[in-house]
Structure 1
Amino acid sequence: HIMMIHLVLVGLVLRSAAAAKTEGGAVEGLNVNTGLFRTVEEFKGVPFADVPGKWEKPKPHPGWDGVLIATKFRERCLQVTLLQTKTQGSEDCLYLNIFVPHGLSVSTNLPVMVYLFGGAFLLGASNDVEVFGESLYDGKEMADRGGVIVVTVNYRVGTLGFLSSGDERLPGNYGLWDQHAAISWVRRNIRAFGGNPDNITIFGQSAGAASVNFQMLSPYSKGLFRRAICQGGVALSPWALQKSPMVLTKKIARKVNCWQTEEDNMLACLKIVDPIKLTMAGKINLGSVLCSGPVMDLLQLAPVVDGDFIPDDPGKLFHNAAQFDYLAGVNSMDGHIFAGIDVPSINNMKETTTADQVKGLLTGLTKEKGDAAISSAFDVYSVHWGLAPDPAIVKKTVADIETDFLFLVPTQIALQLHANNTSGASTYSYLFNMKTRIPGFPRWVEAEHAEDLQYLFGKPFSLPLVYFPQHRDLSGYMIAYWTNFAKTGDPSRGNSKVPVLWPAFTKYHQPYLVINNSMSKIASKPYGSLSPWPLQIPPMPEFLPQQPPEPHAASPAGTHQLLPESHRLKRPDRTPSSA
């Protein structure tokens, strides 16, 4: 009889609807069975704001009568397709999705994790990249295995999300305001879904990670969430801030035939242009990269210092982030995909990559810093080559340069600024270096940009035939660390067991966890290369520690260097295997 009751209960779970009451009205989602006596409630396409006006901040949703059926993802925000030949999506796009885990009892007071997608501020969606019918950002596995509520949100991208005149006429940052509106909605409503509004973690990857960082730095976020995770991107990344927005806006205006020389007239013209035309005008012209400079220069639609949401240069705003626990890191080859566009020979077995090509790349990346910077940067990166360098080492150096410049160095500076400003909140650093699963790349390629996401979102469990046991191990570890951090502010403490204790990153000691399927390494040796481009961070006395490290914080002799003295930034020693 007991067995029969169990089967009936499981049968009910498979088919039952899930319901919750939000400020806009009642919503009904689906209960999905995830194991014996375990379910995840899914609410897809819940509105967190009204249809936004063109280049206006999001407005509260007016609500609805009756019950909103929330079982399907809504359209993404209007954007170019990946191949940039046409647009997809809608202006009616400010929706989020909620994944709530339940065991034998109904969940209450669960930690909440809000995910911001990446896509160069140009494209992406909360349900992006369907893999075998399942969204890459499906929160089911993470919610179920980690015991947290996962929320994925849409925000405006491209021209409609980030065009700016650099002043109050067209202030920009509309996509950041959307994210803020979504996090605020979660804080006001998540209790109805079993969540704890006082324990929200925001996390994101690439442009989504830079967005997380901007949310931390904004004065509007005070008390709004509790913790933050940046994966492969921070607000200090050179691609994450548009410093000359009006130059870009004039370029876009010319593409849509707004030729007025008087700026006010040109902006008035832009405001009446069809949104699809405006969106197409924001696409990247990849053809121009081969003759003009690094691909990074093409990533132009981005947040701006607007004097409001982002009141100052991001490097000067870390006092606003002092209240949040912070976890950040990069993939060991985050820059490889960009390096392959800038120096195509690195991925071609038959071609060699020359010292002149490496110098050419450094010239493009350090052009604001002058000739001396190029030569010192080249010396730093070629010091381990020897007289007749292995072709694979030269190729890997190109990937390392782009990884350092676009991701690693800015992330380390953000971690240092957080640790220097923190008031009791914790800081954690990692390097994800699981070898790539993308076929066709040379053997020295490790973790490509965005390759961490399949493990974090539990794809080796939901798509078991496409992965091996080692991938399931890694996925389990990442979900444990990330969700423990969301629960307690310490990735090693929580309900989930972890393979290695992850030490905190502090003002004077900067260990980082190396994440892969063997999980055996905490590294804290000095960064191998001198950063040839200390990014434009604020002057040292104000932000970086000047005094020597405290005795108890020092690491073993010769394994630790202070950032301000040497400006050495951690680059793990990564010698390639043969090509």
Structure 2
Amino acid sequence: MRRMVMLLVLLFGVWLDFTSAAKLGVVKTEGGLVEGKNHWMGLFSSVDVFKGIPFADVPGKWEKPKPHPGWDGVMKATKYRDRCLQITMLQRDTRGSEDCLYLNIFVPQGRKLSSSLPVMVYLFGGAFLLGASNDAAILGDSLYDGKEMADRGKVIIVSVNYRVGPLGFLSTGDSRMPGNYGLWDQHAAIAWVRRNIEAFGGNPDNITIFGQSAGAASVSYQMLSPYNKGLFRRAITQGGVALSPWALQRNPMALTKKVARKVGCWRTNEDDMITCLKMSDPIGLTMAGKIDVLLILGKGVVMDLLEFAPAIDGDFIPDEPSKLFHNAGHFDYLAGVNSMDGHIFAGVDVPTINMRNTTTVGEVRSLLIGLTKDKGNAAVSSAYSLYSSHWGSTPDPGVVKKTVADIETDFLFLVPTQTAIQLHANNTNGASTYSYLFNMKTRIPGFPRWVEAEHAEDLQYLFGKPFATPIVYFPRHRDLSRYMIAYWTNFAKTGNPNTGENKVPVAWPPFTKYHQPYLTINHKMSKSSVSYNLRSEYVKYWTQTYTTFPSIRSKEDEE
């Protein structure tokens, strides 16, 4: 009996060894040696996870990131590091640290050690004010945990931290404090990945950057900046581009003066004010960046509260984003939005859309006044005519409510994204362009039946949550997750979402200068998922008709 037990133990050990995947162990980077942790994913497969590797030194206040000095011995890269200093969700306190420029790496392994894998670098969203590379825990696991995507897509996933809020994006609009420090952090991280990823089994010549919301706008800026030529090869934006109205701070000095007042640094002399700001406590500065929710009551729209954003600095962003697409022509580009990306914002601006109360004509017009305030009444009337044209004489209350969500989705996300896709296709230098609309029904409880894909709802599927936490999902969600991972990782490998190791449910045709197909992504995909000219009537209105109305900017805006 004892011999039998010993034999079984021996056989079990041999079986474990036979079925286990390879693992990296200690990896040499430019800063020193790092050791992560290997996670078993299934038969012959695992993922090596490295958390908290520094890609730059602790940044100086409103300075570009500097190289990390390195370390002795072996760094245990097994825990996420602090997020960059930021306000908490409830805005009562701060969290995070100034020592925050770290990244995380997820490397899939099979029987043999991986080599020359495509690399996907993720930039998180959060209105340039909040967020982290390990944000939004779901059942104990980070939303951006890359294990499932890496394992199923056979790509290396990298997630990075960058500075946000006043420390990341405060600017004077000139060389004294040019801003865009968070964008420089992202750039430094991408450059670090290019220099070091080969040691982890990645291909430094095949890097894709991708992001959602403010992270997507950041990806867009990285494409447009002259500093990134040769650093990466492909880009994916989900629900945000540099052309989004919330993604560019057009009056940075006004915001800097506002922050200065809050921290006791207001001075008539701007140089004295800047000196005072540079000596101010980082936590006080961060708290000064909190959203003043009271400003919205009866006065404006949510978009007005999203103040921190990149600025045209004559350097990283040398000109208007729309004039920089010649810099992006060599990147393959895949972009799209969620069908109701604007719903959560519309629900704040017009609360009745999520209630039983009727949403009135006055509320719709008021929303349009808030969005088009620099154009005046004629623009409001023309936009209202367009969006109400399908209502009929006695509009269905649900149709009116959905129209409100459509208005904000179009204005904040869809139209800017379609414009960016078209500009990319017009400027392409042999690179490919792809357009999508993600419209899976919302999983958020309590919303009306007509609500489809909410802002950021695509991320759970892309990062494989239906597989990582199957108990809270259904088979249809796993189907959708499988489709998204296949399209995204195929694109990262080849520049074509249809071509790669992972099968896709339907061929996705490229978007070109004269041919504008898009793919509707949900759990029921077939040939009918390919359509053309996404909301072209509304895109044409906002990009052509609306721009012909004269601006009526106030004197305060011009100062």
TM-score category by the smaller chain?
over 0.9
Secondary structure of residue in 2 paired with 1:152: strand
Distance 1:50 1:323 in 2: 31
Structure 2 letter corresponding to 1:163: L
Partner of 2:3: none
1:139-158 superposed matches below 5 A: 139-158=146-165
| Offset, 1:147 | 0.2
Structure 2 letter corresponding to 1:288: L
Partner of 1:434: 440
Identity of matched residues, %: 72
Secondary structure of residue in 1 paired with 2:337: strand
Provide Cα deviations, 1:321-358, integer angstroms capped at 9, x if missing partner. Answer: 00100000000000000000000110012x11011110
Provide Cα deviations, 1:114-138, integer angstroms capped at 9, x if missing partner. Answer: 0000000000000001111100000
> Residues 153 and 526 (structure 1 numbering): CA distance in 2 closer, same or farther, change over 3 Å?
closer
Provide Cα deviations, 1:537-557, integer angstroms capped at 9, x if missing partner. Answer: 999xxxxxxxxxxxxxxxxxx
Distance 1:280 1:3 in 2: 60
Provide Cα deviations, 1:426-449, integer angstroms capped at 9, x if missing partner. Answer: 000000000000000000000000
Distance 1:514 1:340 in 2: 24
Conserved 8 A contact 1:316-1:538: no
Partner of 1:533: 542
Partner of 2:256: 249
> Residues 214 and 454 (structure 1 numbering): CA distance in 2 closer, same or farther, change over 3 Å?
same
Distance 1:294 1:463 in 2: 36
Structure 1 letter corresponding to 2:16: V
In the alignment, is residue 93 of structure 1 matched against residue 97 of structure 2? no
Distance 1:130 1:9 in 2: 33
Secondary structure of residue in 2 paired with 1:369: coil
> Residues 48 and 380 (structure 1 numbering): CA distance in 2 closer, same or farther, change over 3 Å?
same
Partner of 1:110: 117
RMSD: 1.7
> Residues 505 and 192 (structure 1 numbering): CA distance in 2 closer, same or farther, change over 3 Å?
same
| Offset, 1:530 | 3.4
Conserved 8 A contact 1:315-1:537: no
Out of 391, 399, 424, the residue aligned to residue 393 of structure 1 is 399
Partner of 1:361: 367
Structure 2 letter corresponding to 1:113: M
Out of 42, 47, 51, the residue aligned to residue 54 of structure 2 is 47
Structure 2 letter corresponding to 1:533: W
| Offset, 1:12 | 7.1
Provide Cα deviations, 1:223-262, integer angstroms capped at 9, x if missing partner. Answer: 1100000000000000000000000000010010112111
Partner of 1:269: 276
Distance 1:146 1:264 in 2: 52
Conserved 8 A contact 2:219-2:235: yes
Out of 514, 531, 554, the residue aligned to residue 523 of structure 1 is 531
Distance 1:6 1:179 in 2: 45
| Offset, 1:290 | 1.7
Distance 2:479 2:201 in 1: 29
Conserved 8 A contact 1:17-1:30: no
Structure 1 letter corresponding to 2:178: P
| Offset, 1:161 | 0.1
Conserved 8 A contact 2:115-2:201: yes
Conserved 8 A contact 1:328-1:429: yes
Distance 1:316 1:49 in 2: 31
Distance 1:475 1:59 in 2: 38
Conserved 8 A contact 2:336-2:437: yes
In the alignment, is residue 372 of structure 1 matched against residue 403 of structure 2? no
Structure 2 letter corresponding to 1:445: V
In the alignment, is residue 298 of structure 1 matched against residue 305 of structure 2? yes
Secondary structure of residue in 2 paired with 1:353: coil
1:174-253 superposed matches below 5 A: 174-253=181-260
| Offset, 1:5 | 4.9
Q: Any stretches of 5+ residues in structure 2 without a counterpart?
A: 1-6, 549-559
Provide Cα deviations, 1:184-226, integer angstroms capped at 9, x if missing partner. Answer: 0000000000000000000000000000000000000001100
> Residues 464 and 371 (structure 1 numbering): CA distance in 2 closer, same or farther, change over 3 Å?
same
| Offset, 1:3 | 5.3
Distance 1:375 1:233 in 2: 27
Provide Cα deviations, 1:408-457, integer angstroms capped at 9, x if missing partner. Answer: 00000000000000010000000000000000000000000000000000
Distance 2:332 2:534 in 1: 24
> Residues 426 and 537 (structure 1 numbering): CA distance in 2 closer, same or farther, change over 3 Å?
farther
In the alignment, is residue 35 of structure 1 matched against residue 35 of structure 2? no
Structure 2 letter corresponding to 1:8: L
Distance 1:386 1:10 in 2: 68
Secondary structure of residue in 2 paired with 1:46: strand
Structure 2 letter corresponding to 1:530: Y
Partner of 1:325: 332
Provide Cα deviations, 1:354-388, integer angstroms capped at 9, x if missing partner. Answer: 11110111111111222211111000000000011
Conserved 8 A contact 1:485-1:492: yes
Q: Any stretches of 5+ residues in structure 1 without a counterpart?
A: 540-579
Out of 501, 510, 516, the residue aligned to residue 504 of structure 1 is 510
Secondary structure of residue in 2 paired with 1:229: strand
Partner of 1:468: 474
Distance 2:286 2:498 in 1: 44
Partner of 1:547: none
Partner of 1:489: 495
In the alignment, is residue 446 of structure 1 matched against residue 452 of structure 2? yes
Secondary structure of residue in 1 paired with 2:215: helix
Partner of 1:562: none
> Residues 300 and 199 (structure 1 numbering): CA distance in 2 closer, same or farther, change over 3 Å?
same
Partner of 2:422: 416
